[in-house]
Amino acid sequence: MAVSRLLAGVVILLLSLWGAGVMSATTNAVGRPLPADAAPPEQQVLTGLTQPATTLDFFVSVYKRPQNVDGNSWSNVLSTPLVRLDKNFNLVAAAAKSWEASKDGLTWTFHLDKSVTWSDGTPLTADDFVSTFRLGADPKQAWDFAWFFSAIKGWDDAVKGTIPVDQIGVQRGSDPYTLVVTTTVPAPYLPGMMLYSPPLQAKALAASGPFYNTDPATSVSSGPYVLQEWAKDQRIVLVANPKYSGVRPFIQKLVLKFADLKTEFSAYQANEVDVAANFSPADLQVIENDPALRAQYHQGFGDFRTYYVGFDTLHAPFGNLKLRQAFSHAIDRAALIKSVIKQQGIAAYGFLMPGFPGSQNDALKGIQTYDPALAKKLLAEAGFPGGKGLPKLELWLRNERALGQAIGNAIAAMLKQNLGVEVEVSNRETKLFMDELNGHRLQFYIVSYGMDFLDPANMLGIWLSGGRHAWKSDKFDSLVKTASSMVGNPGQRLAMFHQAEQVLVSDVGFIPIYFVTPGFMWKPYLRGDALSADKIGVTAWHWPGWDGLSTLHQSVYVTKDVSKYRR
């Protein structure tokens, strides 16, 4: 009796102590208890620089959202997509609690989480997703990502204007919390694509148009933040959403300053921003020489970006396979990495970066090896011994900064040295470059591609004929198309993608140069699970960054160390 009383007393005492501990923990403005080593709530602020932006919303414009480097966006935080990505690139449920495909693989049903509401109190329903996708397919909206959802039934026809947008395969299901997506062919990668589903509110869209989130008066949020201020050309201020039903952020205020990103590193050094991602070779030298800065520099995968040399293989002279092979054996990737690219990339032998699903970089190593003697021989066999008979080549670059230009010049020098071929490097502005590339008018160029979703169907899909590259292989087309829509046999599907990439590399549809491993800096006072090592040991500001599509914002906070930095 006495013992049990004593035990009960101890339990009650412990419980009350634990309770007191919980009660005394400081919470931030939206009630999230802060970790013990966290700075006070008013210092849970994150400041970053961004390129000029006109929207925070994916479906309004993909390329005019706040970003500070390829694929690292600061957007979509006013919305909850169906799924999000965690730091290990797993899809995690967000607005959708669960989803399943029909037997034929053509219909996907997403079951929405009924607890998610907009900041004005209205529930988030399938109708919001339906309106959002209709906006994206609307030819009058001229969405800059309209090519992406071709797999959805009726999408391409709606974009062309031949069927009304309300006929696309994104519809409300049996109730307002069921969303049904229909595809033209089975698309096992569809849930991955639905990362790009951050909804706009149907009501606000109808009342104020697609830009309703640029003004706090008309803005409405279903995501972790709400809009507090948008001073055009100056800054966006976001504060944590008190009505958000998901994991509320520790960081209760987010300040995004519009800037020319060349100024990012100096702003970081002056402690005006907490993160930085744009480094010139000179900046990297400064970082290299300073142990404190070096410790703040973290290398990641970014958006699995591949830099490559491309050709117009549909016309002379690059219609000649031997000529392309000659070029592919004349480029010394190891030397490029060692002396030019350094920590900013790793040598590429295929299109899929190690870490990306389906990558087989090592297996492809033997195809386009560096072999100047073989290159010379192939050049002669192609009918251009010693480079004779080749027209003067212009190697176009897409608005590259210092590093990209250095790489272009190094490749031109290798072609001159190993093949005797004269190449002039020409750095062109983006619009002009893409217009020429998409029109298949570019003879010889260097460009990059970063992934949209984590499936080989995405990265290899851009090599299908009719896409942006002037290269065509029926075998490749058939392999990629079949594998992309294959359901129920992941092993065979992967084998077909491997075979397709093999075809692409062997036919020298392109010359892979390097995979980008971008560096990202954050101050030592930022901490959180998302910033600790992922399952393969990489500590990075993982793609897509501080964004509604990622879970990064859920765990990061400012520690007390901040007092040593910020003034």
Partner 1 sequence: MTARYLFGRISGLVVAVVTVSILAFLLMHAVPGGPFDETRSPLPPAAKANILRKYGLDQPIWVQYARYVWHALHGDFGTPYQSPTETVLALLARVWPVTLLLGAIVVGISFTLGLGLGVLSALRQNTWLDNLLTSVATLGMTVPNFVIAIWLIYILSIRARWLPTGGWGEARLLIMPVVAYSLQPLAIVARYTRVAVLEAMAGDYVRTALAKGLSPAQVVVRHVLRNALIPIVTLLGPMIPDLFTGSIFIEFTFRIPGLGKFFVTSIFQRDYPMIMATVLLVAVLWSLTYLASDVLYVLIDPRVRLGARGR
Between 406 and 462, name the residue whose CB sits nearer to partner 1: 462
CA 92 to chain centre: 16
Out of 146, 364, 421, 549, point to the residue binding partner 1 (CB under 8 A). Answer: 146
Between 258 and 297, name the residue whose CB sits nearer to partner 1: 258
3-state secondary structure of 128: helix
**228 is an interface residue for partner 1 by CB under 8 A:** no
User: Which stretches of 7-129 are assigned E, i.e. beta strand?
Assistant: 45-50, 67-69, 72-73, 83-85, 91-93, 96-101, 107-112
Q: How far is the CB of 317 from partner 1 (least distance, A)?
A: 23
- Quick note: the x/- pattern for partner 1 over 194-213, rule CB under 8 A, is -----------------x--
**What's the sign of the alpha-carbon dihedral 94, 61, 310, 439?**
positive
Residues 467-486 that bind partner 1 (CB under 8 A): 467-468
**258 is an interface residue for partner 1 by CB under 8 A:** yes
Q: Are 80 and 221 in contact (CB under 8 A)?
A: no
Out of 156, 312, 501, 507, point to the residue binding partner 1 (CB under 8 A). Answer: 156
Q: Where does residue 245 rank: exposed (0-12), middle (13-18), buried (19+ CB within 10 A)?
A: middle
Out of 263, 299, 482, 502, point to the residue binding partner 1 (CB under 8 A). Answer: 263
**259 is an interface residue for partner 1 by CB under 8 A:** yes
**449 is an interface residue for partner 1 by CB under 8 A:** yes
**436 is an interface residue for partner 1 by CB under 8 A:** yes
Residues 39-78 that bind partner 1 (CB under 8 A): 52, 54, 63
Q: How far is the CB of 438 from partner 1 (least distance, A)?
A: 4
CA 464/CA 476 separation, integer angstroms: 7
**113 is an interface residue for partner 1 by CB under 8 A:** no
Out of 93, 335, 340, 434, point to the residue binding partner 1 (CB under 8 A). Answer: 434
Q: Where does residue 286 rank: exposed (0-12), middle (13-18), buried (19+ CB within 10 A)?
A: middle
Beta bridge partners of 444: 311
Out of 262, 338, 342, 560, point to the residue binding partner 1 (CB under 8 A). Answer: 262
The label of the residue with tokens 């590193």 reads: 265
Q: How far is the CB of 224 from partner 1 (least distance, A)?
A: 24
Beta bridge partners of 91: 85
Between 342 and 431, name the residue whose CB sits nearer to partner 1: 431
**532 is an interface residue for partner 1 by CB under 8 A:** no
**438 is an interface residue for partner 1 by CB under 8 A:** yes
Between 543 and 557, name the residue whose CB sits nearer to partner 1: 543
CA 75/CA 547 separation, integer angstroms: 5
Q: What is the dihedral of CA 204, 207, 209, 214, to 10 degrees?
A: -60
Going by their DSSP bridges, the two strands 423-428 and 393-398 should be labelled as: parallel
Residues 378-397 that bind partner 1 (CB under 8 A): none
The conformational region for residue 304 under phi > 0 = left, psi -120 to 50 = alpha, else beta, is left
**232 is an interface residue for partner 1 by CB under 8 A:** yes
Beta bridge partners of 553: none
Stretch that binds partner 1, among 134-142, 220-228, 242-250, 329-337 (CB under 8 A): 134-142
- From residue 23, alpha-carbon distances to 38, 246, 358 in Å are 16, 21, 49
In the 3-class helix/strand/coil scheme, how is 292-338 assigned residue by residue?
HHHHCEEECCCCCCEEEEEECCCCCCCCCHHHHHHHHHCCCHHHHHH
Stretch that binds partner 1, among 95-103, 104-112, 185-193, 260-268 (CB under 8 A): 260-268
Q: How far is the CB of 145 from partner 1 (least distance, A)?
A: 8
Residues 402-431 that bind partner 1 (CB under 8 A): 429-431
Q: How far is the CB of 57 from partner 1 (least distance, A)?
A: 12
Q: Which two tokens stand for residue 332?
A: 């010394």
Between 103 and 567, name the residue whose CB sits nearer to partner 1: 567
Stretch that binds partner 1, among 68-76, 404-412, 460-468, 545-553 (CB under 8 A): 460-468
CA 70/CA 291 separation, integer angstroms: 26
Between 267 and 374, name the residue whose CB sits nearer to partner 1: 267
Compute how many residues bind partner 1; rule: CB under 8 A: 49
Out of 37, 144, 166, 424, point to the residue binding partner 1 (CB under 8 A). Answer: 144
Of residues 101, 103, 82, 84, the one with CA closest to residue 92: 84
Out of 113, 272, 394, 561, point to the residue binding partner 1 (CB under 8 A). Answer: 272
b vs e for 151-182, b when ≥16 Cβ sit within 10 Å of the residue's Cβ?
A: bbbbbbebbeeeeebeebbbbbbeeebbbbbb
Q: How far is the CB of 231 from partner 1 (least distance, A)?
A: 8
Q: How far is the CB of 553 from partner 1 (least distance, A)?
A: 24
Angle at 451 between CA 450 and CA 452, to 5 degrees: 125
Q: Would you tell me which residues interact with partner 1 (CB under 8 A)?
A: 52, 54, 63, 139-140, 142, 144-147, 156, 159-162, 211, 214-215, 231-234, 257-260, 262-263, 266-267, 269-272, 429-432, 434-436, 438-439, 449, 462, 466-468, 567
